[in-house]
Amino acid sequence: MDIAFALYPGMTALDLVGPYDVLANQPEVTAHFVAASPDPVRCDAGLVLVPTATFDELTTADVLVVPGSGRWAEALEDGAVTAWLRRAHPTATWTTSVCTGSTLLARAGILTGRPATTHWAVRDELAALGALVRTDRVVVDGSVITAAGVSAGIDMALTLVGLVWGDRRAEFTQLVLEYDPRPPYRAGSPETAPAEVVAFARDVLRPR
């Protein structure tokens, strides 16, 4: 099974690395890092990833994984990822996104009229792009799976493992990763975080 992980400047590393650690360790999987050019790609916090293929070289894969970014609007304007999605999605078995990566799926026409989730701060923008926005952590709609913000990419990938290889494989993978989150604060969503923290976060995350 070929899984293509899309890379683009300013993407959020955990959006990709979380699903990668879940999926790339499955014995049937060959992982590919795909970008507009073969040049290294710098993530938003400075991590550098090296593509293994370009969008022109790899136009088909069984699974597509599109990470998000705080600079998602720049990725929309650039258009390289969305152009690749328009070519690769029709023949993919599964198309997935993490966080604001859903805006790239939407711009490519994949989420029009479909339920999808994204980072809580970008729900209105995703709706404006034609998706039926849900607040769930993971949304499965046919062959398309979207995940909410950043860490939800691990949940998305475990969901995909269960759909492809069954619940026992997904449970085994979760156990090996020791994915048993118990965060020290109840501040992981706008519904549970203190109001002043939510207000500050909205201001920080607002597109400039």
Q: What is the pLDDT of residues 90-128, one digit of tens each?
A: 999 999 999 999 999 999 999 999 999 999 999 999 999
* Burial of 119 from C-beta contacts in 10 A (0-12 / 13-18 / 19+): buried
**Which residues contact residue 177 at a Cβ distance below 8 angstroms, ignoring those fewer than 6 apart?**
21, 22, 154
Tell me which residues are annotated as active site.
99
Q: Based on the structure, what is the number of domains in the chain?
A: 1
Instruction: For residue range 43-98, list pLDDT tens digits in order.
Output: 999 999 999 999 999 999 999 999 999 999 999 999 999 999 999 999 999 999 99
For residue 95, being part of any structural domain is answered with: yes
Residue 24 lies in a domain: yes
* Token pair in block for residue 82: 């969305």
> What is the pTM assigned to this prediction?
0.96
Q: Grade residue 208 by pLDDT with cuts at 50, 70 and 90.
A: low
Name the token pair of 196: 């002043």
In a domain, 152, yes or no: yes
Whole-angstrom Cα distance, residue 100 to residue 98? Answer: 6
Q: pLDDT at position 106, please?
A: 98
Q: pLDDT averaged over the chain?
A: 97
Nearest-CA neighbor of 14 among 68, 65, 58? 68
With contact defined as beta carbons under 8 Å apart, do 73 and 126 qualify?
no
Q: Domain holding 15: CATH number?
A: 3.40.50.880
Does residue 198 fall inside a structural domain?
A: no
Q: Which two tokens stand for residue 112?
A: 């029009």
